[in-house]
């Protein structure tokens, strides 16, 4: 890992759990990945940040499914309906192992579905995955 910001991708972390959010941010710091992280505590805030230009492309969204006010599946539906946001790159990061949730998320063209409890070494594995992802994959700038 390095301090280089590949593609300068911003991470939009949509997570209502403070402990999980801090753990993700800690993993980025530990692995010296300096890409900016913007946190939204629910889906409504995430959509507002995207629509008002606070978070600009390229970005990768880490989206929890179970949140107050607007859950992750609702966020995905709104993203895919919005002409400016429909190409958002989204990884679901959730506690849900429910096949219905997985199918519903993949039906909305997510990049991956990650169950938190499968991250045996904390969120370091997730951060390494994302680091490799944006090194190899071309992210849309518009």
pLDDT tens per residue, range 90-128: 999 999 999 999 999 999 999 999 898 877 667 888 888
> CA-to-CA distance for 46 and 12, rounded, in angstroms?
8
Domains of the chain listed by start with CATH number: 6-136 (3.40.50.2300)
Percent of the chain with pLDDT over 90: 61
Long-range contacts of 78-86 (CB under 8 A, 24+ apart): 78/43, 78/47, 79/47, 79/50, 79/108, 80/108, 80/109, 82/51, 84/51, 85/47, 85/50, 85/51
pLDDT tens per residue, range 7-66: 578 999 999 999 999 988 988 888 888 889 999 999 999 999 999 999 988 999 999 999
The Cβ of residue 54 has, within 10 Å, a number of other Cβ atoms equal to 13
3-state secondary structure 100-139: HHHHHHHHCCCCEEEEHHHCCCCCHHHHHHHHHHHHHCCC
Q: Are residues 46 and 62 in contact, defined by beta-carbon separation less than 8 angstroms?
A: no
Q: Are residues 11 and 37 in contact, defined by beta-carbon separation less than 8 angstroms?
A: yes
Alpha helical stretches, state H, the chain: 18-30, 43-51, 72-81, 99-107, 124-136
Specify the pTM.
0.88
């Amino acid at each position: 890992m390095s301090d280089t910001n590949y593609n300068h991708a911003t991470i939009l972390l949509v997570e209502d759990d403070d402990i999980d959010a801090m753990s993700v941010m800690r993993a980025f710091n530990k692995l010296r990945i300096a890409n900016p992280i913007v946190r939204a505590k629910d889906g409504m805030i995430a959509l507002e940040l995207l629509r008002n230009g606070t978070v600009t492309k390229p970005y990768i969204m880490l989206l929890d499914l179970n949140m107050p006010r607007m859950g992750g599946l609702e966020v995905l539906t709104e993203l895919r309906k919005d002409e400016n946001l429909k190409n958002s790159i989204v990884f679901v990061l959730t506690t849900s192992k429910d096949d219905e949730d997985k199918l519903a998320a993949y039906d909305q063209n997510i990049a991956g579905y990650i169950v938190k409890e499968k991250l045996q070494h904390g969120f370091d594995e997730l951060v390494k995955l994302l680091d490799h992802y944006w090194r190899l994959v071309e992210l849309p700038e518009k």
